[in-house]
Structure 1
Amino acid sequence: MLNMGGPSTVAETHDFLKNLFMDGDLIPLPMQSMLAPLIARRRTPQIEKQYDAIGGGSPILRYTRLQGERMAALLDELHPETAPHKAYVAFRYARPLTDETAREMRADGVKRAVAFTQYPQYSCSTTGSSLNELFRRGKAGEINDVQWSVIDRWGTHPGFVEAVAQNVERALAKFPEATRQETVLLFSAHSLPMSVVNRGDPYILEVSASVAAVMERLKHSNPYRLVWQSQVGPSAWMGMQTGEALKGLARLGRKQVVLIPIAFTSDHIETLYELDLEYAKEAREHGIEVHRAESLNDSPVFIRALADIAAAHLKDVTTGQAGPTSIQMALRCPGCTNATCGQQKAWFARGGR
């Protein structure tokens, strides 16, 4: 289960930030090896305060482990041919890091594994970065004799769409019935630098497809927009930004908003701090009543969706109906110049050989 991760305690914040800013796949920086530690050191006190404000750390590891355990139990029933199943967590920037997970898998004697991204929509900066790191560990001999396949995107899977839609409906129910249809649904996703967007990264398209699928399930009951959050640094990022959208809606006289995390499946700092404490506070100051659709966390519908996705993948790969990777994963961004990306895709296409 591949994800960005987050510091489980405030004390882990600096290491998390350093790992994050060192990753050129996520945040391309000039002189990255020099600038990244400086930026991490400068930002640590501010981000530590944010983790303090949400309870002393990120709950993403707790939720990912819970999701994995319940998914594995369902998989034992859905696809007994490959049972027993065990879920491992491999975070990119916080513990357990990929190298820790590799050691655990080696100790367990794992011979068959699925790299299952926990980002519903694919980006080279998120899923791609995690797969690049897994590839580097494999090439270094840290995960020997493992047959790999990849679940690289699933942002329009019916179970995922249903789980998000149910949470939107619960949030909408908090508004008076008489004005409920006037409520604006504001889907918010982590933004990307325009340098990544402009090289052909599919993330914007895939997030948009997720939003369209959820709105179809909701029968287009409300007006909606897709906006972007978590911009870092002075360079151009995909917009418009969530905070600016809320100000604009207030100026247009909109008084009711549901904030919907569409690219985050578990609560972490982007939902618990940015959406709940920062943006919601700003919205209320502008006269908007705002409620957030819950993250998927321990949703049984969502966990069943994860199991269904994995079971279908295992069936297709085991029976030869599909290869180790999807057709879409094989296509590099038209503007890609990252040699590791091409090597990684070829490696996984050969089953990690």
Structure 2
Amino acid sequence: MSTHELAPSAIDASTSHGVPVRTGTGVDHVSAPYDALLLASFGGPEGQDDVIPFLRNVTRGRGIPDERLEEVSTHYRALGGVSPINQQNRALKAALEAELAARGIDLPVLWGNRNWAPYTTDVLRSAHAEGRRVVLGLATSAYSSYSGCRQYREDFGIALAELATDGVDDLRIDKLRHYFNLEGFLAPVLDGVIAGVRRLLADGVAAEDIVVMYSTHSVPDTMGDASGPEDTRVPGSGGWYVAQHQAANDWVHSRVEAEFGLRLASQFVFQSRSGNPRQPWLEPDINDAIEAAAEAGCKGVVCVPIGFVSDHVEVIWDLDTEAAETAAELGLAFVRTPTAGTDPRFVSALVDLVEERLGRRGPVETVTSFPATPDVCGVACCVGAKLRPTVAGADSAADCRS
């Protein structure tokens, strides 16, 4: 697998929310005769018997005993041991196939997971046996971070290294750039926020008593600060991870306020933290934010999972269950808005990116203050607390739910 890195001087620097960003790709888009599109995701159990084996996969190398894994399995157990993410990926795969066919693009869509079947290595082995040689990777994560981007590159590298031991040394994988700043991703989010605010207003909650909370997965402070290329880092800023989310939040919220012709309170919040409690993670936690909002006189919360592509466990449990319960206990009205999922606008935007890489169209327009990220990652991009090689078996610092 290619591990080329973009030199810092190759593109102009700017700033977004105090963090340097790049104002153009600065390099020609990578173009190759791709013969498959790989939808790459986290994976999840398909039944109660799968839960502990799945969690062993997620935590492999950490030495966590099964007794501890049982303690953290309750969210899956409450859902019958089935993670919604697998069916959501099947639906997204089918939607991508239909959109590609509608545009006359003969590109099969594969689906491979990091932690459960179908595993990425197995999928790529089958693809190679079918004659596929140059694959385009699409991760189910919209933003820059170690667990949201670089680890997928590592997954690809690990798979290629394993296949190489079997004599498969002519397979290549390129990864699509981030899509947090595409209108097709954000427009469904915007529609959901407008509907959520409208619902609270119809229920008698005054506009000045509503707060819109834009939520994403918390990560360790060190991972946030290290998101983005090395030359863009600002300690304590949350890096590209925070800046990209804030830019997406701003784009959506400004249009919500324009829709209603009034000012609405908003807050960027985090959820689903896990790991060592002594390690600082991005805050505030959404439950703490809801409590603070209630103390300040808020009467209604519109919860927006803008950091997520689909309604998987972090959304269903951490928001629909825990955050909703926190709001109910405090007497606050609570509305959770949908994720982009398989909205036709989102699927269309993803296929636009595919066409961009196929050379069938020019660069896909971005809509936020944070511009398009390069096709090729910058120097030491999204390495986390310490530099990790692109081909390495590193576990995720994010939660083990998906």
Residues 1:184 and 2:206 are matched in the alignment: no
Residues 1:139 and 2:161 are matched in the alignment: yes
> Any stretches of 5+ residues in structure 1 without a counterpart?
23-32, 320-324, 345-353
1:296 aligned counterpart, secondary structure: coil
Q: CA deviation at 1:304?
A: 2.2
1:174 aligned counterpart, secondary structure: helix
Q: CA deviation at 1:15?
A: 2.7
8 Å Cα contact 2:205-2:299 kept in structure 1:
no
Q: 1:106 aligns with which of 121, 128, 131?
A: 128
Equivalent residue number for residue 228 of structure 1 = 270
Aligned counterparts of 1:12 and 1:334: Cα–Cα separation in 2: 31
Judged with a 3 Å threshold, the aligned counterparts in structure 2 of structure 1 residues 318 and 245 are, in CA distance, closer, same or farther, namely closer
Q: CA deviation at 1:342?
A: 8.2
Equivalent residue number for residue 30 of structure 1 = none
Judged with a 3 Å threshold, the aligned counterparts in structure 2 of structure 1 residues 239 and 11 are, in CA distance, closer, same or farther, namely same
Equivalent residue number for residue 72 of structure 1 = 97
Residues 1:11 and 2:38 are matched in the alignment: no
2:170 aligned counterpart, secondary structure: coil
1:37 aligned counterpart, secondary structure: coil
> Any stretches of 5+ residues in structure 2 without a counterpart?
1-38, 229-239, 364-372, 394-402
Equivalent residue number for residue 326 of structure 1 = 374
Q: 2:339 aligns with which of 265, 289, 295?
A: 295
Considering Cα pairs closer than 8 Å and 6+ residues apart, tell me whether 1 or 2 has the greater RCO: 2
Residues 1:240 and 2:278 are matched in the alignment: no
Judged with a 3 Å threshold, the aligned counterparts in structure 2 of structure 1 residues 116 and 96 are, in CA distance, closer, same or farther, namely same
8 Å Cα contact 2:211-2:301 kept in structure 1:
yes
TM-score (norm 2): 0.73
8 Å Cα contact 1:283-1:289 kept in structure 2:
yes
Judged with a 3 Å threshold, the aligned counterparts in structure 2 of structure 1 residues 229 and 339 are, in CA distance, closer, same or farther, namely closer
8 Å Cα contact 2:41-2:112 kept in structure 1:
yes
Judged with a 3 Å threshold, the aligned counterparts in structure 2 of structure 1 residues 43 and 299 are, in CA distance, closer, same or farther, namely farther
Residues 1:257 and 2:301 are matched in the alignment: yes
Q: For each residue in 1:2-60, what CA deviation from the matched residue of structure 2 results, as whole angstroms up to 9, or x when unmatched?
A: 222222223222233223234xxxxxxxxxx3xx2325x23432343322323441111
Q: CA deviation at 1:316?
A: 6.2
Structure 1, 125-134 or 279-288: larger mean CA deviation: 125-134
Aligned counterparts of 1:208 and 1:116: Cα–Cα separation in 2: 23
Structure 1, 166-175 or 260-269: larger mean CA deviation: 166-175
Judged with a 3 Å threshold, the aligned counterparts in structure 2 of structure 1 residues 43 and 181 are, in CA distance, closer, same or farther, namely farther
Q: CA deviation at 1:158?
A: 0.8
* Aligned-partner residue type, residue 218 of structure 1: V
Q: Number of residues paired by the alignment?
A: 323
Q: 1:195 aligns with which of 222, 230, 235?
A: 222
Quote the RMSD (CA, aligned, Å): 2.7
Equivalent residue number for residue 27 of structure 1 = none
TM-score (norm 1): 0.82
Q: Which has the higher helix share?
A: 1
What are the within-5 Å matches in structure 2 for residues 116-131 of structure 1?
116-131=138-153
8 Å Cα contact 2:133-2:170 kept in structure 1:
yes
Judged with a 3 Å threshold, the aligned counterparts in structure 2 of structure 1 residues 179 and 288 are, in CA distance, closer, same or farther, namely closer
Aligned counterparts of 1:274 and 1:282: Cα–Cα separation in 2: 11
Aligned counterparts of 1:335 and 1:130: Cα–Cα separation in 2: 12
Judged with a 3 Å threshold, the aligned counterparts in structure 2 of structure 1 residues 254 and 334 are, in CA distance, closer, same or farther, namely closer
